């Protein structure tokens, strides 16, 4: 589907074009069509692409893949938003790296609502228990929550997860200083379920396949 059409369909959510495993030229082509937000999963690949495309100074890069603690120092300050902060320990490491570099970092908290062992992220309960500690960490700005629901056949089955993420965000917001942690973003919905996510309040939809076609295998 064409970018314009999808952009209309996703409104009012922003589209994050997920360019993992896609060549830099495809990013450049979508940029020509007007796309500015791009999401990457793998640190090394992302940094290489940023370097190759450094002439496109108005691209906003987001990191959406699992981040290992020992790689935090490579990414801090290099991404507009890290969607995949999936543990208190990782948040602490990012905060320390910010301290050393004298920068601040915008993040989202990744939530694993279905409790799938194969997925990273806070359970809703752990997040609520650790919220005070998370929000006290210096140099971090928590812009909202991100989730990746179970892969199901239809949008109807994922809707409750999207609604739950919104409700969790709303609850956390009541005890949060939103001048520090705005909590206004909900990153949810991918190529096959983004219309449902938008109906449930997504502000960022993460779209790969529908924009770029099938991804090459990870080599
Ligand atoms: C790859 C990926 C996407 C994009 O998925 P598509 O089905 O290609 O739209 C979205 N979110 C995350 C976290 C991803 O890893």
Which residue has tokens 């004298």? 102
Which token pair is 19? 């360019």
State pLDDT tens for residues 74-132.
999 999 999 999 999 999 999 999 999 999 999 999 999 999 999 999 999 999 999 99
Domain tally, the chain: 1
3-state helix, strand, coil split of the chain in percent (to 5) is 40, 20, 40
Higher pLDDT, 49 or 218: 49
**Has residue 211 got a pLDDT over 80?**
yes
CB 19, CB 40: distance < 8 Å: yes
Beta partners for residue 85, in sequence order: 109
Which token pair is 45? 């690949």
Ligand 1 centroid, distance to 215 Cα (angstroms): 10
State pLDDT tens for residues 5-38.
999 999 999 999 999 999 999 999 999 999 999 9
Q: Residues of the chain with pLDDT > 70: what percent?
A: 100
Which residue has tokens 């609604």? 163
**Run of H or E residues at 15:** strand 14-18
- Residue 154 has what pLDDT? 76
Please state whether the predicted TM-score (pTM) of the whole model is above 0.95: yes
Q: Give the atom of ligand 1 at the shortest distance from the alpha carbon of 206.
A: 10
Residue 23 lies in a domain: yes
Q: Which domain holds residue 205?
A: 3-212
- Residue 131 has what pLDDT? 98
Residue 164 lies in a domain: yes
Ligand 1 centroid, distance to 207 Cα (angstroms): 6
Residue 217 lies in a domain: no
Residue 29 lies in a domain: yes
Residue 46 lies in a domain: yes
Does ligand 1 have an atom closer than 6 angstroms to the CB of 20? Answer: yes
Residue 142 lies in a domain: yes
Ligand 1 centroid, distance to 45 Cα (angstroms): 16
Mutational pocket test of ligand 1: of 190, 194, 209, the residue with most ligand atoms within 8 Å of the beta carbon = 190
Residue 145 lies in a domain: yes
CATH number of residue 197's parent domain = 3.20.20.10
Does ligand 1 have an atom closer than 6 angstroms to the CB of 207? Answer: yes
State pLDDT tens for residues 143-171.
999 999 998 877 789 999 999 999 999 99
- Residue 155 has what pLDDT? 74
């Amino acid at each position: 589907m064409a970018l314009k059409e999808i952009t209309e369909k996703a409104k009012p959510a922003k589209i994050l074009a997920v360019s993992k495993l896609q060549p830099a030229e495809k990013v450049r082509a979508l940029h020509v069509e007007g796309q500015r937000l791009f999401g990457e999963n793998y640190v090394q690949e992302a940094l290489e692409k940023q370097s190759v495309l450094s002439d496109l100074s108005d691209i906003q890069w987001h990191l959406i893949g699992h981040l290992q603690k020992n790689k935090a120092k490579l990414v801090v300050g290099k991404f507009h938003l890290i969607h995949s902060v999936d543990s208190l320990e990782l948040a602490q490491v990012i905060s320390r790296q910010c301290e050393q570099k004298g920068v601040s970092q915008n993040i989202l908290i990744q939530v694993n609502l279905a409790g799938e062992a194969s997925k990273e992220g806070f359970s809703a309960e752990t997040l609520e228990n650790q919220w005070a500690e998370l929000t006290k960490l210096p140099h971090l700005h928590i812009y909202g929550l991100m989730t990746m629901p179970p892969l199901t056949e239809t949008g109807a089955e994922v809707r409750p997860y999207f609604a739950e993420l919104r409700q969790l965000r709303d609850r956390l917001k009541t005890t949060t200083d939103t001048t520090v942690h705005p909590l206004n973003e909900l990153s949810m919905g991918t190529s096959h379920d983004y219309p449902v996510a938008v109906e449930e309040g997504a502000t960022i939809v993460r779209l790969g396949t529908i924009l770029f076609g099938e991804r090459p295998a990870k080599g």
